[in-house]
Amino acid sequence: MSEGKGFGAIRVIRENNMEEAKRLQKLPTYVFALLDKLKAAERAKGLDLIDLTIGSPNIMPPKEVCDALVSSLKDPKNHRYSSFEGDPEFKKAIVSWCKRKYKIDIKPDETVTLLGSKEGLIHFAFAYLNEGDTVLVPSPAYPAHFRGPILAGAEPYILPTIEKDGFIPDLDIIDESIAQKAKMLIISYPTNPTAATAPRKFFEKAVKFAKKHDLILIHDFAYAEIYFDNEKPISCLSIPGAKDVCIEFHSLSKTFGMAGWRLGFAVGNPKLIASLRKIKTNLDYGPFGAIVKASIAALNISDEYLDNMRNAYQKRRDLMVDALNQMGWKIEKPKATFYIWIPVPSGFDAMSFVNHLLQKTGVVVSPGVGFGDLGEGYVRIALVEEDDRIKEAISRMKKAGIKYNG
């Protein structure tokens, strides 16, 4: 460093040092960051935006949970570092939630508490992937499913999913050499962004496939509780033998309207769980103790809160899908999640339609390309505003003559 002559040389060296790590440079553009800039510019002009971009629920957490947080705040113990092993009471609540909701048997040491499932998904990639490893990832997908492996130095191998096949990848057509080389398969049903669900037989197939090819099977179950018409999604761990290969990620963000709290957990194969805990031990001290205590109240909640939450999203889904169909789209009502995934009218690509809608109506939706190249030609509508705002969005779209023309 000191060989450089004068300040100019030092500046050159420093500028090189300021180059981001290759793992960051390899990431595809984060479309949502661009979208954020676009939204900020429009807001600065005084436009009343109806923001249906990010899947950040506006439904309040249960009152019992907020009350539990307030009282947990008064306990001095909760202000100290949390234990690396996790709160035993919270682990007990996870075990009984998993049994009650998904009929799966989880032991306390088969759980790990997370700062949201996104954190867990990314750090799991770092716990298991080496430079050049291959990860099988369906697409379009929640960005962390491919960005996590890229950050960890691995190569996502895209499994294309299309509407005709219910956005479920065909595992039978994966080249044998790719399947043998791969280290992980990441699935997530109900799915963000397409709102697709998967039947038990897909999970059976995924478990069999993972076992045959010695793969780690990740199931991201963030939308486990957001389903309609009594078609309850299943846990991958309910497939016999799944625990030999599978780790499943759960989130309180969507289920209990707690996205800002940052709390999730993973359950499943004890070795996979232990490695995730091991990497996290080196990175963080776990969530704020008061939040963990309050989250116990969430996992013990009565079904009434969850039924009301589902009814609220179902009502919004019906409002939006019916309106879109009046505008020329031909969309089936999604069976789960609070998303609607729609093709863009001809003459647009995903980003230009997002822009057009924003300029004409002040309604903002997510461009499908943010979820991978296969999302081009689609946008995702997140129903995370109250009914009156959804109605307002619909009315603005109709007034602006937005329609689907194939």
Name the site residues for ligand PLP (rule: CB under 6 A).
55, 116-118, 142, 188, 192, 220, 222, 251, 253, 259, 264
Beta strands across the sheet bearing 264-268: 111-114, 264-268, 246-251, 216-220, 182-187, 134-139, 155-160
> Closer to ligand PLP at the Cβ: 118 or 316?
118
Q: Which residue is nearest to ligand PLP (CB)?
A: 116
**CA distances for 157 relative to 44, 97, 132, 180, 316, angstroms:** 40, 34, 11, 12, 35
Residue placing its CB nearer to ligand PLP in the complex, 291 or 402? 291
Rounded least distance, CB 375 to ligand PLP, Å: 13
Residue 273 or 397: which CB sits closer to ligand PLP? 273
Q: Nearer Cβ to ligand PLP, position 111 or 253?
A: 253
**Least spacing, CB of residue 192 vs ligand PLP, in Å:** 4
The 3-state DSSP class for residue 336 equals strand
Closest CB to ligand PLP among residues 125, 402: 125
Q: Which is nearer to ligand PLP, 255 or 361 (CB)?
A: 255
Compare residues 361 and 366 and give the one whose CB is closer to ligand PLP. 366
CA separation for the pair 299, 303 (Å, rounded): 10
Smallest gap, in angstroms, from Cβ of residue 213 to ligand PLP? 24
CB 370 within 8 A of CB 55: no
Nearest distance in Å: CB 142, ligand PLP: 4
The distance of Cα 89 from the centroid of its chain, to the nearest Å, equals 26
For residue 283, give every residue at least 6 positions away whose Cβ sits within 8 Å of its Cβ, in sequence order, or none: 123
- Name the residue nearer to ligand PLP (CB basis): 213 or 316: 316
CA-to-CA distance for 397 and 23, rounded, in angstroms?
Answer: 41
The residues, any chain, with a CB within 8 Å of residue 76's CB and separated by 6 or more, are none
Say how far apart CA 75 and CA 65 lie, in whole Å. Answer: 16
Burial class (CB in 10 A: 0-12, 13-18, 19+), 339: buried
| Residue 304 Cα distances to 59, 280, 297, 298, 331, angstroms | 14, 35, 14, 12, 30
Residue 354 in tokens:
């997002």
Work out how close the CB of 176 gets to ligand PLP at its nearest, in angstroms, rounded to a whole number: 29
Smaller CB separation from ligand PLP, 227 or 394: 227
C-alpha distances in Å from residue 95, one per residue of 98, 147, 251, 300: 5, 30, 14, 11
- With beta carbons less than 8 A apart as the criterion, state whether 185 and 219 touch: no
Q: 281: which 2 tokens?
A: 């031990």
